[in-house]
Every structure is written in structure tokens, then in C-alpha cells.
Amino acid sequence: MDLISIMNIGTHIMVFLFGITIGSFLNVCIYRLPAGESLTKKNSHCMTCGTPIKWYDLVPVFSWLFLRGKCRACGSKISSRYIIVESLTGILFVLTFLRFDTIIDGLIYPALCCLFIAGLIVIGFEDYDTSEMTVGVLLYLAIVAFVTRVLTALNGKMFRACEISLADGIIGMFAVSVPFLFFGFVITPLIYNFIDEDRKAARKIRKRLKTQKLDRSEERKLEKTLAEHLSAIKEKGPVFGFGMGDVLLMAAGGLMYGWKAAVVAAFIAIISGAVYAVILKVRAARNDEESVKAFSFGPFLTIGLGIASFFGTRLMDMYIDFLTVPQIPVQ
Ligand SMILES: [Zn+2]
């Protein structure tokens, strides 16, 4: 083995170790940010017995493996989430660096890609846990994407490994986010207005109250039913197919990875989300549960963006090639 390949392997081991350390911090973000807790203040402690965790039990990935996922003090199970997030971060960082020749391309662009992926991991798990995305993390993603695009535009030589142009990024910012905004906040509420029983009933009653002559007691009865429907509507909350978080996530993702990757990411997310919905429905039917619990779309979008960040542009080019009808030579 020559010196360069030994150095390369060494770099990737370093990147992995760095990645799992960042992953350990991401775990803290995923647990504390949605609760509004400080990221720096409190020390880590066992979720069951509350014993503070010693530094030597906080080594990412390895401590969990060494303790076989159990607390040293009380022996209760430590969530496998920790090792999953840590190793996922490490592996994705290594895969990102593998795409580039760091000796020629430098470290800055791969590092920016890793910073973005770190934010995606936090957003995905946050949304999975709480159905909400923290504004701070969305802002962080937007800033990383913005800085990446500006640096790429200013210094094409240093970022020659980056195949996404400024125009690609700007189009990408709107390519998916605008359709999401339109579907989420215009189309879906409109459709919902016509299929939701409470909304339909409330509309009917309002019309009757307005147009028909009713005696006092009848009117009072109708007003009471109307109030019931209105409170039921309020309890269900606003109807958004895509939340504002999804829209902003896809704007940042498009700016970072370009429009082709953004479109591919949306496709992957919608298809995998639909498959997941079917699985939930089948499982609910089998367990005789009444309805399917709503689930967040964010995790699917982050998975889509993650895959698209590696293959998005190539997949889209393949798709365009597939659609293009070959020219038949004229004889
Ligand atoms: Zn414990």
C-alpha cells in the first residue's frame, strides 16, 4: 500500500471519529431543543435513575457497545437511539468525504456538506419525535446553504468539486418549496373544507340560520349544534398537508443541493411516506384500531434530501435522458 492510500484511510478514520462525536452532540440537540432546554448547561444523566454519566461512559458509539446499551449504575436500558444517531452521523460524514478528492478539492466544501447533513439529522429525528421542527435548526440549515452557495459563486476553483451552480441553487430554493406551500396552505384546506363532516355541517347550519325563518327555540337549538361543530373543528386544529417547516426545509435543501436533487428528494419522500402510510393503515386494521395516527412528513423529506445529496443530480439526469425521445435520423 502506498503512502497516499494510507493517508486516505487515516483521513477517513479521523472523519468517522469526528462524525460520531458530532453525532453525540446531535443527540443532545434532538432531545433538548424541542423542549427548549439549554444545550450546554446540564450534564448527561441516566434517564431512569438520574445518576450522572461519567466521562468515560460518554465516548460515542464505543461506550454504548461496551456497556451493551445498559446504564452502569442501575442496569436499565439506554435507548439505541444514541448509537444509531452517532454511527449514522459518522457513516454519512465518511460517505460525504469519499465523494471528494480532499487533496485536490480541499476540505471546506466537504465540511460544509457535513454541516448540512448534521442539521438534516437533527430536523428528521426532531420531527419524528415531536412532529415539529425547531426554527433555530431550520435557520441553521438555511445559513449553511447560503454560505455554501455564496462561497461556490465567489471561488469556483476552490469549490470545483461542487457541481451545483448559483442558478441551480436559487431555482432549487423554490422548485419544491413553492408547490409545497401551495398544496399545504391552499389546495389541502380547500379540499378538506368539502370533505370534513364538521365543516360541512357547520356550513349548512349557518346557511339555514341566515336564510330560513325559524322560531326562537329552533334557532337556539341550531346555534348550540353549530357551537359543537365549531369546537370540534377547533380541536382538530388547522389542516396543513405540508407544514411551514416542510416548506422551509425544502427551500434550504434546494439551495444547498440544487433543483434536481430537491425534486428527487420530494419524489423519494412522497413515495416512501405513502408506503409508510399504507403500512400504518394495514397495521391499524389488523389491531382493530379505529384510525391511523397522523405522522410527520419531515423525516421522509430528510431521508429524501440525504439520498438526493449523493445521487440526486445523477438520478434526475437519468430520468431526463429516459424521457428524451431519441432522434430518428432522416434518410
Ligand atoms: Zn441508571
Query: Which pLDDT tens digit goes with each residue over 202-224?
Result: 888 888 888 888 888 888 888 89
C-alpha of residue 77 to centroid of ligand 1, in Å: 8
Whether the predicted pLDDT of 80 surpasses 60: yes
C-alpha of residue 79 to centroid of ligand 1, in Å: 12
Backbone angles phi, psi at 60, to 5 degrees: -55, 145
C-alpha of residue 45 to centroid of ligand 1, in Å: 8
C-alpha of residue 87 to centroid of ligand 1, in Å: 23
C-alpha of residue 233 to centroid of ligand 1, in Å: 44
C-alpha of residue 123 to centroid of ligand 1, in Å: 28
Tell me the pLDDT band of 157, cut-offs 50, 70 and 90: low
Spatial separation of the C-alpha atoms in residues 208 and 222, rounded to whole Å:
9
3-class state of residue 70 by DSSP? strand
Radius of gyration of the chain (CA): 25
Tell me the pLDDT band of 147, cut-offs 50, 70 and 90: very high
C-alpha of residue 55 to centroid of ligand 1, in Å: 15
C-alpha of residue 59 to centroid of ligand 1, in Å: 17
Q: At 242, which amino acid appears? A: F
C-alpha of residue 134 to centroid of ligand 1, in Å: 29
Q: How is residue 284 written as a grid cell?
A: 391499524
Partners of residue 45 on adjacent β-strands? 52
| pTM of the predicted model as reported, rounded to 2 decimal places | 0.83
C-alpha of residue 30 to centroid of ligand 1, in Å: 20
C-alpha of residue 70 to centroid of ligand 1, in Å: 8
C-alpha of residue 129 to centroid of ligand 1, in Å: 22
Spatial separation of the C-alpha atoms in residues 42 and 53, rounded to whole Å:
11
